[in-house]
A = this chain, B = another copy of it.
Amino acid sequence: MKFDKILLSHGSGGRLSQDLIQDVFLKDFGNEILDELNDSAIFKTVDSRLSFTTDAYVVSPIFFSGGDIGRLSVCGTVNDLSMMGAKPLYLSASFIIEEGLQIDDLKAISRSMKQAADEAGVKIVCGDTKVVGKGMADKIFITTSGIGLIPDGIDISPQRICSGDSIIINGTIGEHGIAILSQREGLGFSSSLISDVAPLNHLVASMLDEAGNDIHALRDPTRGGLATTLNELADRSGLSIRIYEDRISIQDNVRGVCELLGFDPLYIANEGKLVAIVKNEAKDRVLACMRKHPLGINAAIIGEVVEKPEGLVCLITRIGGMRVVDMITGEQLPRIC
């Protein structure tokens, strides 16, 4: 590259845009579909159900302990597809870049996307780059969209949640949000707080192999945390979700920051966690299967679905009390993802 910073001209659609695409994105993402460089990517499908999703990523800071906005933008969309039981196949990547961004930073983000895409086994097949003037965006925003294939017969949906189902999570909660927050606030112990951002599709595939449609619903507790995700599931199913405080694991350093700053870890974002709502009879083999996977070692059954109170999430506290856990209302942590 002839420049060390992004210029407005890198977004013109002309020569400099092409240089940027060649020198940064194609070098990392190159594959037989993207390399065609047409207005859109072409791929073949057979008779099938496809899953389609999109997410914008505006995380600040763009580099954080355990990842960066690039890794997040790939994992987040891979995970959204996975939560429908889909096998993620193709991703698009759209960049809005502030004039003046260091090209080395963009290269690092691009490499990180490539690495996450490889981990997940997906291809980035189309993209777009726009540049806005200094002060008109904050460094870089990335929107990824994804297409996934839903295997024959698989039907994962909150509508399938039944009373008696078990609620399983694949590990500890709150790492992503607290890693971002502590970095942003310059807390001294931030280096030990590492985001959990990871692609969950392989874990989901092994769960579906093991239990198929005995897995009723899947969700990743991102923005708004576990509490918000469970509220959505309770709301969509018209049933009640009961969870037990003593079964929900939280890393000591995450708990420490939460106590220090007055946050409830139930509302903190995760980026490598999933909640599975599973037929009661299948819970033990799903749990055993999850624990065999590196991203499910700490999987635990944290609660169950009951009839009432309809649409609500209730937490049984350590001392045996019960409190209703509401959806997040304000914004605890803006730009967490």
Besides A56-B96, A56-B130, A141-B141, 17 new A-B residue pairs in contact (Cβ under 8 A), listed by A number: A9-B331, A12-B330, A12-B334, A38-B157, A40-B80, A42-B51, A42-B84, A43-B52, A45-B47, A52-B90, A55-B128, A58-B132, A58-B137, A96-B96, A130-B337, A137-B137, A137-B141
A261 to chain B, nearest CB (A): 17
**CB within 8 Å of B: which A175-192 residues:** none
Q: Would you call A328 and B45 a contact (CB within 8 A)? A: no
Q: Would you call A138 and B136 a contact (CB within 8 A)? A: yes
Across the interface, A228 reaches (CB within 8 A) one of B7, B14, B84, B335, namely B14
Residues of B near A93 (CB, < 8 A) are 54
Alpha-carbon separation in the docked complex, A7 to B334 (Å): 11
Which secondary structure dominates where chain A touches chain B?
mixed
Q: Would you call A42 and B329 a contact (CB within 8 A)? A: no
Q: Would you call B53 and A12 a contact (CB within 8 A)? A: no
Instruction: Report the count of interface residues on A (CB-CB < 8 A).
Output: 84
Across the interface, A331 reaches (CB within 8 A) one of B8, B50, B331, namely B8
9 A-B pairs whose Cβ atoms sit less than 8 Å apart in the complex: A14-B223, A14-B224, A39-B83, A40-B53, A40-B83, A42-B52, A43-B49, A136-B137, A143-B143
Q: Using an 8 Å CB-CB cutoff, how does the interface string of A7-24 with B read, 1 for contact, 0 for none?
A: 111011111111000000
Residues of B near A222 (CB, < 8 A) are 13
| Interface check A272, CB cutoff 8 A | no
* Interface segment, one of A144-152, A295-303, A305-313: A144-152
Interface centre among A48, A158, A332 (most CB of B within 10 A): A48
3 closest pairs, A vs B, by CB? A13-B223, A40-B53, A14-B328
| Interface check A131, CB cutoff 8 A | yes
Alpha-carbon separation in the docked complex, A55 to B55 (Å): 13
Q: Given contacts A13-B228, A86-B40, are A94 and B52 in contact (CB under 8 A)?
A: no
**CB within 8 Å of B: which A109-143 residues:** 125-133, 135-138, 141, 143
A109 to chain B, nearest CB (A): 15
Alpha-carbon separation in the docked complex, A233 to B38 (Å): 10
Q: Given contacts A137-B138, A220-B39, A223-B13, are A147 and B330 in contact (CB under 8 A)?
A: no
Q: Using an 8 Å CB-CB cutoff, how does the interface string of A314-337 with B read, 1 for contact, 0 for none?
A: 000000000000011111101101
CB nearest to A125 among chain B residues = B52
Q: Would you call A42 and B150 a contact (CB within 8 A)? A: yes
